[in-house]
């Protein structure tokens, strides 16, 4: 694709997004019938999938608790306490790749290596 085609595709995308935005905010959002249909659709979806959401939570309950505790202790710089207090959470997080590798550096998430700049001399 050349530059002109790329610009055309980008402009078409912008026009489509603007049209959708205006259609919702200037037309549909102000229409009480549309808003009621939308609320009914959302309520129906919520009621149909209530049990599915509950089952997913029950299935992943231990992981959710472990991850929540990990991020709490990470935020407060107390990962050493987390490691001592919740070894079972550490194992769950390692199994699900939330914590990668060894636990020794106080469970800190891995830091990517710095990017080295290479200087190329032009002759």
pTM of the model: 0.52
Residue 103 tokens, joined: 């636990």
Res. 101: pLDDT tops 80: no
Averaged pLDDT of the chain: 87
* Region of 107 on the Ramachandran plot (φ > 0 left; ψ -120 to 50 alpha; else beta): left
State mean pLDDT over 4-18: 96
Residue whose tokens read 């891995």: 110
Tallying the residues shown for the chain, one arrives at 123
| Helices marked H in 26-78 | 32-48, 50-59, 61-75
């Amino acid at each position: 694709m050349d530059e002109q085609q790329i610009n055309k595709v980008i402009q078409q995308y912008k026009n489509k997004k603007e049209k959708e935005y205006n259609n919702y905010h200037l037309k549909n959002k102000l229409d009480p019938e549309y808003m009621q249909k939308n609320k009914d659709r959302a309520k129906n979806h919520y009621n149909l999938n209530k049990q599915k959401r509950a089952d997913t939570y029950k299935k992943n309950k231990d992981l959710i608790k472990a991850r929540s505790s990990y991020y709490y202790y990470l935020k407060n710089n107390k990962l050493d306490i987390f490691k001592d207090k919740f070894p079972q959470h550490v194992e769950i997080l390692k199994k699900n790749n939330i914590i990668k590798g060894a636990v020794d550096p106080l469970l800190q998430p891995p830091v990517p290596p710095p990017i080295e700049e290479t200087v190329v001399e032009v002759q």
